[in-house]
Amino acid sequence: MITPVILCGGSGTRLWPVSRRAYPKQFVRLLGEETPFQATARRVAGAPFAAPVVMTAADFRFIVGEQLAEAGIGPGAILIEPAPRNTAPAILAAALSAVASNADATLLILPSDHAVRDPAAFRATVMLGMEAAGKGRIVTFGITPDRVETGYGYLLLPRDAGAVSPLAGFIEKPDAARAAAMIAEGNCLWNAGIFLARADTIVAAFAAHAPEYLAPVQASLDGARDDLDFRRLAPAPWEGLADRSIDYAVLEKAANLDVVRYQGHWSDLGGWEAVWRESAAREDEVVAGPRCTAIDCQATLLRSDDPATEVVGIGLSDVMVVATGDAVLVADRRRSQDVRLAVTALKEKGVRQAEAFPRDHRPWGWSETLTLTDAFQVKRIVVKPGGILSLQSHRHRAEHWVVVTGTARVTIGPEVSIVQENQSVYVPQGATHRLENPGDGPMVLIEVQTGSYFGEDDIIRYEDAYARS
């Protein structure tokens, strides 16, 4: 059996405004019905793969749980990194944890935000590396380049490479001329950041090349505590670790690396140009999604992620337009990698759209501001079956709740009542209250807040089913 380790602590900014720190691209429906994380988990579901270990951040833990449940995939473990420290410590934590329960464990390390069109071909390619991994090799998987690309790292193949060959070297982001030359020679592959190794091989590689990580990562694992379905690594000493990628910390120094060529289609979904490329059949093609109208455009992406927003492009060439309910990005297609500059600029402006969404995902469901003024706020609140909001009160606002779908169990002060669809209830300012969905389907209510302040920090929590402070 192979245990997939899915890395999904990242917070991609290059797919803003659809991907933001609060809900990054691996969890977003970028292409089709599944998110990249769900597609990654499905790609390695079922024998010979064991249930996946997911490495993620605390903010994403409920999203990970929900998206796996939605995909019908049970996790082996969800490990929570106390702080983002890049891939080196996350992978070491997964390896140490695996060795502790199974000395012979073999791990397949996978980013969660890539697209692969043929999962069966991918799995078959992984299996090619098993024999080498069993012998203590670290097996990397490289993608056959189909264009000159200066944004990726490259893996060098030896002359007369077989299905599995010793890695001849890494080339980090070459310039266009060098990339073109390497591709012409046929001896390079894109480094997809995927590799297969025994867990003890990984631990040994750290011991040899980055020994400073071993003790603190082991200590954070030893100090981990279980929290519902999650295992939270201890913040100390994790937070003091250096932020380093596995490539930089270990792989570029290791001598026991092999490489296997993956012939199938792969994309890192590394920016809007990559998303456009995934959908366009030709280089000059217009990709216009639902609610989008292209008039005399070419090589252009038009995308509306808001069901209420129509997008029209007229006379555009090499332009990418992405609209959500609260933000619009319009960028030259060749500036795909500079979309992170938008996030930087909006953070400097102090604008919420830089990192957060109108929709706020919580363990019990989600809420969304429909309108906010100085005098009132209107929210849609959707509570999952069995979902329970914390017992709370607000200093500065009263709330009117109108149940529009399903049934709510409502606590206000000492009273508990059932509020049916098309009934309303009033929560006075200062009153302790709690909202639950006792039903089998989602419960939706419209909350009208009145008062003088509507910030999320005006919540005094008395009790919480999800262990939030």
Q: How far is the CB of 448 from a second copy (least distance, A)?
A: 4
Q: How far is the CB of 70 from a second copy (least distance, A)?
A: 20
Return the half-sphere exposure (C-beta side, CA atoms, 13 A cut-off) of residue 317.
Answer: 1
Q: Is 350 in the site for a second copy (CB under 8 A)?
A: no
Determine the interface stretch with a second copy among 31-39, 240-248, 307-315, 407-415 (rule: CB under 8 A): 307-315
Q: What are the φ/ψ torsions at residue 208 (nearest 5 degrees)? A: -80, -40
Q: Which of 28, 109, 346, 389 is in the footprint of a second copy by CB under 8 A?
A: 346
Q: Which of 371, 456, 457, 468 is in the footprint of a second copy by CB under 8 A?
A: 371
For 359-427, give the DSSP string. EEEETTEEEEEEEE-SSEEEEEEEE-TT-BPPEEE-SSEEEEEEEEES-EEEEETTEEEEE-TT-EEEE
Q: How many CB atoms within 10 Å of residue 231?
A: 17
DSSP 253: G
Determine the interface stretch with a second copy among 53-61, 106-114, 240-248, 289-297 (rule: CB under 8 A): 289-297
Q: Is 314 in the site for a second copy (CB under 8 A)?
A: yes
Comparing CB distances to a second copy, the nearer of 206 and 272 is 272
Which helix (H) or strand (E) segment is 222 a member of? helix 214-222
Q: Which of 331, 388, 408, 412 is in the footprint of a second copy by CB under 8 A?
A: 331
Q: Which of 6, 50, 78, 323 is in the footprint of a second copy by CB under 8 A?
A: 323
Comparing CB distances to a second copy, the nearer of 351 and 431 is 351
Question: Contact 319/311 with Cβ under 8 angstroms?
Answer: no
Q: How far is the CB of 329 from a second copy (least distance, A)?
A: 5
Give the separation between CA 208 and CA 271, rounded to whole angstroms: 35
Determine the interface stretch with a second copy among 184-192, 278-286, 368-376, 409-417 (rule: CB under 8 A): 368-376
Give the separation between CA 355 and CA 2, rounded to whole angstroms: 36
Which helix (H) or strand (E) segment is 68 a member of? helix 61-71
Give the separation between CA 343 and CA 352, rounded to whole angstroms: 10
- Look at residue 119 and give its three-state secondary structure: helix
Determine the interface stretch with a second copy among 58-66, 115-123, 256-264, 348-356 (rule: CB under 8 A): 348-356
Give the separation between CA 429 and CA 425, rounded to whole angstroms: 13
Q: Which residues in this chain contact a second copy in the complex, by CB under 8 A?
A: 17, 293, 295-296, 302, 304, 308-316, 319, 321, 323, 325-332, 334-335, 338-339, 341-342, 345-346, 349, 351, 353, 358, 370-371, 375-376, 378, 380, 398, 400, 402, 404-405, 421-422, 424, 426, 444, 446, 448, 450
